[in-house]
Structure 1
Amino acid sequence: MIDIHSHILPGIDDGAKTMTDSLVMAQAAVKQGIHTIIATPHHQNGQYINEKQDIKLYVDQLNENLQEANIPLTVLVGQETRINGDMIEELQSGVIATLNNTKYVFVEFPSGEVPRYSEQMLFDIQVAGYTPIIVHPERNRQIAEHPSILFNFVQKGALTQVTAASLVGKFGKTIQKLSHQLVDHNLTHFIASDAHNTTTRGFVMQEAYQILKQEHGNSAFYMFMENAQLLIDGQYVHRNEPERIQKKKKIFGLF
């Protein structure tokens, strides 16, 4: 299994604090059946600045420690960048790390809103030769209230990634319901852990994939599995025609 979103690098954001923490997370990942993981530390989110060259050094150090500890996990370079007006410049100058040096790049929205310039920025990223992947859209309040926003982005070429814990229900029933709707309506293309630790924000990838198979069938299960591999190989991922989520309208205050 491949996990494309994690905060396993030590001491650089709100994920693992020490190398020991990173190794404990790595052991937990292996128990989940994960053999390859992309380290995606936060960048430009108002708290953390993690540039590509620094991330690569941390990834190399972690891989060395994993080998010494005989933990069968490979860590790849990535980054979780909060959407901002300098993204194109930072992509072109090598500040922003794509996922495993492919054309795929993570884009994070603030939790409460989708900035007004997002559509233009997602378009500009594609014009520059990259494919934006919107991370955990199911946890964005504005998208939850207006899922047509996400439909518009996906229809225009963006991809999305839901969190394993969201699909399982660890963020509550509302977020869980929306996560499954995104799968049903072809509005998401990847499942990843977004793991920060082994206690409150663990991997739960195995459980998420089991639920995916039970709720959405074998074809969805294999598509999401394959998409993670296609991503790290820099290949085109599977995507089906997106559909709008029809929200129930209130009639006289009732549903």
Structure 2
Amino acid sequence: MIVDIHNHILPGLDDGPQNWDEMILLAKQAVNSGINRVIATPHHKHHHKDHFYENNPIKIIRLVEKANDILEKNAVPLTIYPGIEFHLHDQIKLDIEQKIEDFLTLNNTGKYMLIEPPCHHLPEETDEAFKLLQTAGFVPIIAHPERNRILRSNPSIIYNWVKAGILVQVTAGSINGTHGKRLKNFSLHLLDHELVHFVASDAHHHVRRQFELISSYKYIENHYSLNYRKYLEVNALHTINGAEIKISEPTFIGKRRQYFFFYNHPLNHVRENSK
């Protein structure tokens, strides 16, 4: 069973599919790639261009039920589970204190919570917010930290988070190189230091932003190990039933030149020399 824990497959909620036909096409692309379970994680508290996405957990759960009915009627062998991608905004501490019911966990198990940092900064209350969530019994999962400029410049922040029990999800397209050399270099650097606990697609569209999960797993199996791939696959499966995830002991991560375009991670040289 292959589970994708981060995608935008539900229609009409954010910048994912805009209707049921587009949702079905994206679902078929997931199945054709080898995925049979996905946790839908629409944006919440997220500004994107001229839009602000704010999604109610009850609405998400009901839409997941409808989506699964539609997929069954169209003979698409994909099961969708509810979730949310909560944006790490500047007032997140207040939301935790006053609107914790908005924080839908992955598959609504009350355990794993997908948190998306902004791209260009980290709110001052970030560490305090994570501690509040953990005190309340939740396990934060940081979505695509490789996109955040502050984290790329200070990767020890991620190391400290992991040591504190926070989990990390890297995007498949970052590992595959779809999102550019800089994000690939940094993602591989996180893998090198045992700082990745999940890989997910962050799929939005059946053509423009597809489910790339399986190809990234193959990359990890070929360039790291089969055990590393299996570890990531099992972790994703555990989020569905809220099971405990064993955190591999990370190694300290410091600053490296690989956050810049002129630097190539050694695995990029391997790939280029094998052509």
Residues 160 and 188, structure 1, Cα contact 8 Å, conserved in 2: yes
The match for 2:270 is none
2:65 counterpart of 1:60? yes
| Partners of 2:98 and 2:202 in 1: CA distance | 23
| Partners of 1:245 and 1:229 in 2: CA distance | 27
| Partners of 1:80 and 1:119 in 2: CA distance | 18
Pick closer, same or farther for the CA change 1:227–1:125 going to 2, 3 Å. Answer: same
| Partners of 1:227 and 1:121 in 2: CA distance | 24
| Partners of 1:70 and 1:86 in 2: CA distance | 44
Residues 223 and 238, structure 1, Cα contact 8 Å, conserved in 2: no
* Matching residue within 98, 104, 107 for 1:97: 104
| Partners of 1:42 and 1:4 in 2: CA distance | 13
Q: Which amino acid aligns with 1:95?
A: D
Pick closer, same or farther for the CA change 1:90–1:196 going to 2, 3 Å. Answer: farther
Residues 53 and 95, structure 1, Cα contact 8 Å, conserved in 2: no
Query: Which aligned segments of 4 or more residues in structure 1 are displaced greater than 4 angstroms?
Result: none
Matched-pair identity in %: 38
Q: TM-score, normalised by structure 1?
A: 0.94
* Count of aligned pairs: 249
Q: Which amino acid aligns with 1:77?
A: P
Q: Which amino acid aligns with 1:183?
A: L
Q: TM-score, normalised by structure 2?
A: 0.87
Report the Cα offset of residue 90 of structure 1.
Answer: 5.9
Report the Cα offset of residue 183 of structure 1.
Answer: 1.3
For 1:1-255, what aligned pairs fall within 5 Å after superposition? 1-46=2-47, 47-83=52-88, 84-89=92-97, 92=100, 94-102=101-109, 103-248=111-256
Unmatched 5+ residue regions in structure 2? 258-262, 264-275
| Partners of 1:71 and 1:209 in 2: CA distance | 23
| Partners of 1:174 and 1:72 in 2: CA distance | 35
- CA deviation map 1:18-38 (0-9, x unaligned): 100000000000011111100
- CA deviation map 1:141-180 (0-9, x unaligned): 1101111111111111110100000000011111101111
